[in-house]
């Protein structure tokens, strides 16, 4: 979307009061996300009210899923389109409201150096050490709680050449880490071998330091990919596995129409830790699915105790229209779900605090994400950008985003760390 916008001369503004457009990329995954979308639209509408010429454009999953409601119930929105048209964003907005203001695009292009002109993504990711790169879209899994396939459609992958080209553009703009994102990464190319081939192709992008695989469904394909790493030379792959289990009770997993069980998940986590030494695991759990009992939650607690994922995202179930889960009996009351989320979170946080304490004194390879006057914000290879913790370092050397340094950990807070360059 950003590539398309910059191609049409639209540039990013840091100030919503003086911008020509409010462009809101929306989510409709669960109830909380929908509420956040509506709050964001209303917040932008408030600013727009003060500036007659501003336009409010809503894009993404919410506007795809609720196109009709956006038209009838959100008159503040001047124009909207769904996820399938991201790549045409610039042309669509240009044809609806006229081309990007000439003065704006000229001033911006005058400011651009030759290097910036080389890469169409430069103005977007300028200064960023990492960027997400989408490898596929849609999902055929059919989990009974999930509305994503309804509005993202059937699984389809993006060709290797396109992904490599995008990564090259990003690297030319200074990005040093790409995070491979999708709804279902291990289905890429139809076989674990195809996913491994993609990783190999990305290794050819010279200036990239790190490649991170995200959203690996915990099944045989992820096992095959992890096993396949032994036969490939993939030194840029970070020691990190993100694999959402969603529950640990077999009964709940089947109700959610997901495969696997505690033993299988534990085996996958152990495999990641052995084939990618130093690996840390992120998983997610959805609590409050219809029919869930305290005994099922006990299984989640036991699983966390046994398998010790280093990072955990907890979601509260919300019935999503159009999904099989929404019509199931025994819906769990919201306050019961909230209590269960708190119970699991507290157990995880106790474990996490001990782990943070153990990191003190250890040395890690870190990437510089941001340099400020007083400090540097860096990140261990074991931490994903924008999801996991960071390491704060004193600003003692001339470093730039994307540089790699060795850091000794000196202290910790709840999720973040402090350290010194060694
Ligand atoms: S695998 Fe993920 S995106 Fe696909 S249906 Fe299940 S939860 Fe939704």
Q: What is the atom index within ligand 1 of the atom nearest the CA of 142?
A: 5
Residue 162: the pLDDT is: 96
Ligand 1 and 366: CB distance under 6 A: no
Indicate if the pLDDT at residue 237 is higher than 90. Answer: yes
Residue 126: the pLDDT is: 61
- Higher pLDDT residue, 87 or 81? 81
> Mean pLDDT across the stretch 35-62?
95
Q: Which residues of 344-367 are buried (b: 16+ CB within 10 A; e: fewer)?
A: beebbeebbeeebeebeeeebbbb
| Count of domains forming the chain | 3
Verify that 53 and 175 share a domain, yes or no: no
d(CA 395, CA 387): 23
Verify that 184 and 296 share a domain, yes or no: yes
- The CATH code of the domain that includes 163 is 3.80.30.20
Q: What is the atom index within ligand 1 of the atom nearest the CA of 146?
A: 8
302-334 pLDDT per residue, tens? 999 999 999 999 999 999 989 999 999 999 999
pTM (two decimals): 0.86
Verify that 354 and 373 share a domain, yes or no: no
Verify that 134 and 200 share a domain, yes or no: yes
108-126 pLDDT per residue, tens? 444 444 444 434 444 455 6
Which residue has a Cα nearest atom 6 of ligand 1? Answer: 143
Verify that 15 and 155 share a domain, yes or no: no
Contact 136, 158 (CB under 8 A): yes
Ligand 1 and 257: CB distance under 6 A: no
Verify that 307 and 182 share a domain, yes or no: yes
d(CA 312, CA 129): 24
Verify that 219 and 348 share a domain, yes or no: yes
Calculate how far, in angstroms, residue 278's C-alpha sits from the geometric centre of ligand 1: 28
Contact 145, 325 (CB under 8 A): yes
Verify that 259 and 378 share a domain, yes or no: no
Residue 114: the pLDDT is: 41
Q: What is the atom index within ligand 1 of the atom nearest the CA of 149?
A: 5
The torsion angles phi and psi of 276, rounded to 5 degrees, stand at -120, 85
Domain hosting residue 178, numbered range: 117-359
Minimum mean pLDDT among 91-105, 130-144, 199-213, 376-390: which range? Answer: 91-105
Ligand 1 and 139: CB distance under 6 A: yes
Whole-number Cα distances in Å, 262 to 143, 250, 394: 18, 7, 42
Which residue has a Cα nearest atom 1 of ligand 1? Answer: 141
Ligand 1 and 143: CB distance under 6 A: yes
Enumerate the H helices of 360-396 as residue ranges.
none
148-198 pLDDT per residue, tens? 998 889 999 999 999 999 999 999 989 999 999 999 999 999 999 999 999
Ligand 1 and 148: CB distance under 6 A: yes
Residue 87: the pLDDT is: 86
Calculate how far, in angstroms, residue 323's C-alpha sits from the geometric centre of ligand 1: 12
Which residue has a Cα nearest atom 3 of ligand 1? Answer: 183
């Amino acid at each position: 979307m950003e590539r398309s916008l910059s191609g049409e001369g639209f540039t990013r503004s840091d100030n919503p009061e003086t911008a020509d457009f409010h462009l809101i990329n929306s989510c409709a995954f669960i109830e909380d996300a929908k509420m956040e979308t509506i709050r964001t639209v209303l917040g932008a509408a408030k600013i727009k009210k003060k500036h007659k010429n501003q336009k409010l454009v809503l894009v993404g999953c919410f506007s795809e899923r609720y196109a009709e409601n956006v038209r009838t119930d959100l008159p503040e929105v001047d124009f909207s389109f769904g996820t399938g048209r991201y790549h045409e964003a610039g042309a669509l907005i240009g044809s609806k409201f006229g081309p990007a203001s000439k003065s704006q695009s000229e001033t911006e292009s005058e400011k651009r150096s030759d290097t910036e002109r080389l890469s169409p993504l430069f103005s977007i990711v300028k200064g960023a050490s990492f960027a997400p790169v989408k490898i596929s879209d849609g999902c055929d899994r059919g989990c009974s709680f999930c509305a994503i396939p309804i509005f993202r459609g059937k699984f389809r992958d993006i060709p290797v050449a396109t992904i490599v080209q995008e990564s090259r553009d990003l690297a030319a703009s200074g990005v040093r880490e790409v995070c491979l994102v999708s709804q279902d990464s291990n289905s890429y190319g139809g076989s674990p071998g195809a996913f491994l081939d993609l990783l190999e192709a990305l290794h050819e992008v010279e200036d990239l330091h790190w490649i991170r695989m995200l959203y690996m469904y915990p099944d045989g394909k992820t096992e095959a990919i992890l096993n396949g790493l032994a036969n490939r030379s993939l030194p840029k792959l970070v020691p990190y596995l993100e694999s959402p289990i969603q529950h640990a009770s077999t009964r709940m997993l089947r109700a959610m129409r997901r495969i696997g069980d505690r033993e299988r998940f534990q085996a996958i986590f152990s495999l990641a830790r052995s084939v990618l030494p130093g690996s840390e695991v992120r998983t997610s759990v959805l609590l409050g699915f219809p029919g869930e009992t305290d005994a099922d939650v006990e299984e989640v607690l036991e699983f966390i105790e046994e398998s010790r994922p280093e990072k955990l995202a907890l979601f509260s179930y919300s019935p999503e229209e159009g999904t099989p889960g929404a019509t199931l009996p025994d819906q769990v009351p919201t306050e019961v779900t909230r209590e269960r989320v708190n119970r699991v979170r507290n157990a995880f946080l106790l474990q996490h605090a001990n782990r943070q304490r153990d990191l003190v004194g250890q040395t890690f390879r870190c990437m510089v994400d941001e340099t400020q006057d007083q400090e540097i914000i860096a990140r261990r290879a074991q931490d994903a950008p924008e999801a996991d913790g960071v390491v704060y370092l004193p600003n003692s050397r001339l470093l730039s985003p994307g540089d790699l340094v060795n850091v000794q950990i000196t202290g910790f807070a709840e999720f973040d760390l402090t350290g010194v360059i060694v």
